[in-house]
A and B are shown apart, each in its own frame.
Chain A
Amino acid sequence: MMSEGRATRPVWKGRWWLPIWTAGLGLALFAAAAAGGEAANGLIIACCFLVVAVAFALAERSESLRGIGGVDGDERFARIETRSMAAAGRAMAVAIIVAWGYELSQGDDAAAITWILGVGTIAYVGSMIWIRGRG
């Protein structure tokens, strides 16, 4: 039985979710780099992620950082987040298409980039159909 008056909040809305997720991602990338024989590079990447994780953990007074973490976000921040994600998506799409063209011009098959582009396109079209269907 839940205690009376206790606020329930999804795990991903908790204060510590984003710092832990960021640090975990850094460690996962370190493990991947180490498995590929690039432990030194992996360590640098992991350190960068850990610095960002600490910044998220200490960012109590920053609305932007709290919003990114989903802590105490409201409708205005949800709109900011949606627009930011859209801008990031456009930037990523341009970067991937440019990289795809570059790889092809160098005589490479660009298989990895083709996969990323395919997944992105399917995700975009699928999301649009799904969201449109929900009104």
Chain B
Amino acid sequence: MKNEVRALRNEAGLSQQDLGAAVGVSRQTINSIEKERYTPSLPLAMKLARHFGKRVEEVFDDE
């Protein structure tokens, strides 16, 4: 699924490890989401969106 996680993470100056720790997943999971190989669950997508102060649909795009 297309997403803005990498852009938002870079904007916030966070490493994949930092973001993973903040939302409770591994660095590899953040990497997979950014590469659009893994579609996160709704709770994780909401956590990520909240972490960046955005709505889920502003971070993830299913089209």
Interfacial residues, chain A to chain B (CB-CB below 8 A) = 63, 72, 74-77
C-alpha gap A77/B30 in the complex (Å): 12
Q: For A76, what are the chain B residues with a Cβ–Cβ distance below 8 Å?
A: 25-26, 28-29, 32, 38, 40
Q: Which residues does chain A contribute within 8 Å of B44, judged by CB atoms? A: 75
Tell me if B53 is interfacial: C-beta within 8 Å of chain A. no
A contact face: mostly helix, strand, loop, or mixed: helix
Q: With the chains together, A77 CA to B40 CA distance in Å?
A: 11
- Within 8 Å CB of A74, what residues of B? 24-26, 29
Contacts of B10 in A (CB 8 A): none
> Chain B interface secondary structure, helix, strand, loop or mixed?
loop
Question: Shortest 3 CB-CB distances between A and B: which pairs?
Answer: A74-B25, A76-B29, A63-B28
> Whole-angstrom distance from the CB of B42 to the nearest CB of chain A?
11
Cα distance A37–B24 in the bound complex, in angstroms: 50
**Which chain B residue shows the least CB distance to A79?**
B38
Smallest distance from the beta carbon of B40 to chain A beta carbons, Å? 7
Evaluate contact between A75 and B41: CB separation under 8 angstroms.
Answer: yes
Which B residues lie within 8 Å of A72 (CB)? 26
**Which of A63, A74, A76 has most B Cβ within 10 Å?**
A76
**Which residues from 11 to 25 on chain B have a C-beta closer than 8 Å to any C-beta of chain A?**
24-25
In the assembled complex, which residues on chain B have CB atoms less than 8 Å from the CB atom of A77? 26, 29
Chain B residues lying within 8 Å of A75, measured Cβ to Cβ, are 25, 29, 40-41, 44
Residue in chain B with minimal CB distance to A66: B26
Known: A74-B25, A75-B40. 19 other contacts (CB 8 A): A63-B26, A63-B28, A72-B26, A74-B24, A74-B26, A74-B29, A75-B25, A75-B29, A75-B41, A75-B44, A76-B25, A76-B26, A76-B28, A76-B29, A76-B32, A76-B38, A76-B40, A77-B26, A77-B29
